[in-house]
Chain A
């Protein structure tokens, strides 16, 4: 499942499909409690039907235009590149952030974010005579590094959410933090970089990193 606007802004309601297929949450739970084929059940496409679904809400702001989306897409891939695991692009992070701009940010925040993307694009045109989205990975990284170096931040927080909520966070950090958030909550990262275990079953307090080098997410 890839992150899309539709999935991001659903309000919880009951899923009619699950009932029609004759499998209820209670049935799934019964199977889980009985310990039957836990991983298999949960990773199957059928399990997705058990999760609550809801309709998308209306946007408050305009989202990003195609030009801004192109810059965001390139920047996201610089911040979380594809390695042996998916990168921000495959994880749908640009779509996630576009939806935040449209549905979650205040008008001022949306403008600040759009202006930041435009300034990043302008820096590429001034130095490399082409838009940020057309830059080579090395050029894009160079501009990103420069943006980072010119973005002092005096705040001190203990959680990513707190920093995202800090109005004093400069554009670089806002961009970087939203990409990191979008990436690490994505289904792709949750199943490759992290381990999504909705029902771990038990707490194992002391495992060698060699056998379990993961963070458990739920």
Chain B
């Protein structure tokens, strides 16, 4: 590959959005280059611990404390067991890739082809009409340039390809999608649903909508209910770039993938104002290369994208490309949260077999369609959770006995434990931002990204409310005692970082227009989480995918019409 290779399109990043951009661009006839900063990972072949049984886990599965402290001080703190012996190899080496935390921020990121599509939680929800209206209504954040109707057909398009299992609920505030059959709820989850919906008529509890296939779909096998998805899945039973979008792009014969390629900057042509090339550092050789294309999609994950845009400085863009407004890097949001768990008495004669790769979901019920009189905060939250029997790792830690009785007790399925954890919408604020620290050089001699993001009073109040509501609902289902826990008090923990290159109607208040096009740079598109103007309450990835497919459709039409 020469360093002046001309492509029709370049996609920076190969994760959830990069894979979608690659698929759509190649299927529409464009010769496309995907640049991935991480190393190559091959579907199936490189899921090295996928079938390692517990008795072959190194150190019995206990953390490698020295290694983690040295190389993974941030990644190893990821919650819910998503980092460990089975998949450490997918996460980024923090020592080699430092960033600055002006305030505590956990930046969880992978460093492999496929990105976080390999390790994500796969919860897949549509935004609702109110999510797009919220900024305009209450004045926090700028008005979204699109509405639910703009995205609805693209949600359907994406869902049909990736495969989302779920239960239709027929609610306007929680739009249904193109669903595969839902996973079943456990008896205690059904009891929880009944108790909650009987007491609060406006609340809904349903099984988690998840990008795991409950039946064979698009050449991929159905979910085998192992629930070890973040090791990688050779069955292709959950959506990842490696199992679905990149193979689809590959099948067109128009895809080139270049891994180990750290993007330094995007160049613009002073004559036309258009983006003309992407400058890359080969992470293995240090070699610098330049690739040219007619259209460029930046899908490098929220902070990865912002870093690249900020680094793309030129006479025309002295503060980074698309940053004439000083909005670039600002209005970052994530999901805060608190939760509660409790033992639900009874049901001891029922059990389940297999491991479900999802939980339950409760769509937002606070401040819907107006401010609730008893709420001292703006906007709301959704709950995720579940009810399962305690397993041996928990029951063993809650006892200190020994002998034959202990052996029997720990082996048996434990008591039923129900859990509800909130994802609270964070208000967009200008002071929550990332910048480049040119004085401190990070990986590959590039300026370090400096993250200055914190939760505020509104998030704190919402967390308190979410805890109270979780407690009330668990008690309604028969729990005697509820333990409340702070869940997501440090930003980054939810791995839902969004914003920084937000979409908007006014170029003075936003970086992107309603088509994810950088204001003033018509052939440059940004479609990952950085495009978000607010966080909503549901998990964001499905929205990123819909935005990406929609933006490619527009970009290719414009290109063919000679307007890019």
Query: How far, in Å, is B88 (CB) from chain A's closest CB?
Result: 10
Q: Is B137 an interface residue (CB 8 A)?
A: no
Q: A29-B234, A182-B60 are in contact. Are A52 and B52 (CB under 8 A)?
A: yes
Query: How far, in Å, is B393 (CB) from chain A's closest CB?
Result: 5
Establish whether residues B411 and A189, one from each chain, have CB atoms under 8 Å apart when the complex forms: yes
Establish whether residues B62 and A104, one from each chain, have CB atoms under 8 Å apart when the complex forms: yes
Establish whether residues B53 and A52, one from each chain, have CB atoms under 8 Å apart when the complex forms: no
Q: Is A103 an interface residue (CB 8 A)?
A: yes
Q: A79-B403, A207-B350 are in contact. Are A9 and B53 (CB under 8 A)?
A: no
Establish whether residues A10 and B56, one from each chain, have CB atoms under 8 Å apart when the complex forms: yes
Interface residues as binary, A27-65 with B (CB distance below 8 Å gives 1, 0 otherwise): 001001100000000000000001110000000000000
Chain B residue nearest to A104 (CB atoms) is: B59
- Docked Cα-Cα span, A196 to B403, in Å, equals 23
Establish whether residues A218 and B394, one from each chain, have CB atoms under 8 Å apart when the complex forms: no
The 8 A-B residue pairs with the shortest CB-CB distance in the complex, in nearest-first order: A200-B354, A205-B184, A193-B411, A185-B54, A203-B225, A203-B354, A12-B48, A79-B402
Q: Is B224 an interface residue (CB 8 A)?
A: yes
Query: How far, in Å, is A131 (CB) from chain B's closest CB?
Result: 19
Establish whether residues A203 and B353, one from each chain, have CB atoms under 8 Å apart when the complex forms: yes
Establish whether residues A33 and B57, one from each chain, have CB atoms under 8 Å apart when the complex forms: no
- Docked Cα-Cα span, A31 to B51, in Å, equals 15
Chain A residue nearest to B354 (CB atoms) is: A200
Known: A85-B407, A218-B227. 19 other contacts (CB 8 A): A12-B48, A14-B48, A33-B221, A50-B51, A83-B408, A100-B62, A141-B403, A161-B393, A172-B400, A185-B61, A200-B226, A202-B222, A203-B184, A206-B186, A206-B187, A209-B349, A212-B353, A214-B351, A218-B228
Interface residues as binary, A10-21 with B (CB distance below 8 Å gives 1, 0 otherwise): 111110000000
* Contact with A196, one of B53, B63, B349 (Cβ below 8 angstroms): B53
Establish whether residues B355 and A216, one from each chain, have CB atoms under 8 Å apart when the complex forms: yes
Q: A29-B235, A185-B61 are in contact. Are A213 and B413 (CB under 8 A)?
A: yes
Q: Is B391 an interface residue (CB 8 A)?
A: yes
Q: Is A81 an interface residue (CB 8 A)?
A: yes
- Docked Cα-Cα span, A141 to B404, in Å, equals 11
A119 contact set on B, CB distance < 8 A: none
Chain A residue nearest to B341 (CB atoms) is: A158
Enumerate chain B interface residues (CB-CB to A < 8 A): 44-45, 48-49, 51-63, 65, 183-187, 221-228, 234-235, 348-356, 389, 391-394, 396-397, 400-404, 406-408, 410-413
Establish whether residues A216 and B58, one from each chain, have CB atoms under 8 Å apart when the complex forms: no
Establish whether residues B62 and A203, one from each chain, have CB atoms under 8 Å apart when the complex forms: no
Which of the four size classes fits the interface of chain A?
Answer: 35 or more
- Docked Cα-Cα span, A55 to B234, in Å, equals 24
- Docked Cα-Cα span, A33 to B234, in Å, equals 10
B225 contact set on A, CB distance < 8 A: 200-203
* Contact with A11, one of B58, B63, B354, B391 (Cβ below 8 angstroms): B58
Q: A161-B62, A190-B53 are in contact. Are A205 and B185 (CB under 8 A)?
A: yes
* Contact with B53, one of A79, A104, A187, A202 (Cβ below 8 angstroms): A187
Establish whether residues B394 and A206, one from each chain, have CB atoms under 8 Å apart when the complex forms: no
Establish whether residues A161 and B63, one from each chain, have CB atoms under 8 Å apart when the complex forms: yes
- Docked Cα-Cα span, A172 to B58, in Å, equals 24
Interface residues as binary, A62-82 with B (CB distance below 8 Å gives 1, 0 otherwise): 000000000000000011110
- Docked Cα-Cα span, A178 to B235, in Å, equals 34
* Contact with A214, one of B49, B403, B413 (Cβ below 8 angstroms): B413
B235 contact set on A, CB distance < 8 A: 29, 32-33
Q: Is A157 an interface residue (CB 8 A)?
A: yes
* Contact with B354, one of A32, A159, A164, A197 (Cβ below 8 angstroms): A197
Query: How far, in Å, is B438 (CB) from chain A's closest CB?
Result: 39
Establish whether residues A190 and B59, one from each chain, have CB atoms under 8 Å apart when the complex forms: no
B61 contact set on A, CB distance < 8 A: 161, 185
Q: Is A181 an interface residue (CB 8 A)?
A: yes
Q: Is A162 an interface residue (CB 8 A)?
A: yes
Query: How far, in Å, is A35 (CB) from chain B's closest CB?
Result: 10
Establish whether residues A200 and B353, one from each chain, have CB atoms under 8 Å apart when the complex forms: yes
Interface residues as binary, A165-197 with B (CB distance below 8 Å gives 1, 0 otherwise): 100000011001100111111110110011011
Q: A158-B394, A160-B397, A185-B61 are in contact. Are A208 and B350 (CB under 8 A)?
A: yes
Establish whether residues B412 and A213, one from each chain, have CB atoms under 8 Å apart when the complex forms: yes
Q: Is A204 an interface residue (CB 8 A)?
A: yes
* Contact with A52, one of B49, B227, B410 (Cβ below 8 angstroms): B49
- Docked Cα-Cα span, A187 to B53, in Å, equals 8
Q: Is A113 an interface residue (CB 8 A)?
A: no
Chain B residue nearest to A53 (CB atoms) is: B56
Establish whether residues B48 and A165, one from each chain, have CB atoms under 8 Å apart when the complex forms: no
Establish whether residues A9 and B58, one from each chain, have CB atoms under 8 Å apart when the complex forms: yes
Q: Is A199 an interface residue (CB 8 A)?
A: yes
* Contact with B402, one of A26, A160, A176 (Cβ below 8 angstroms): A176
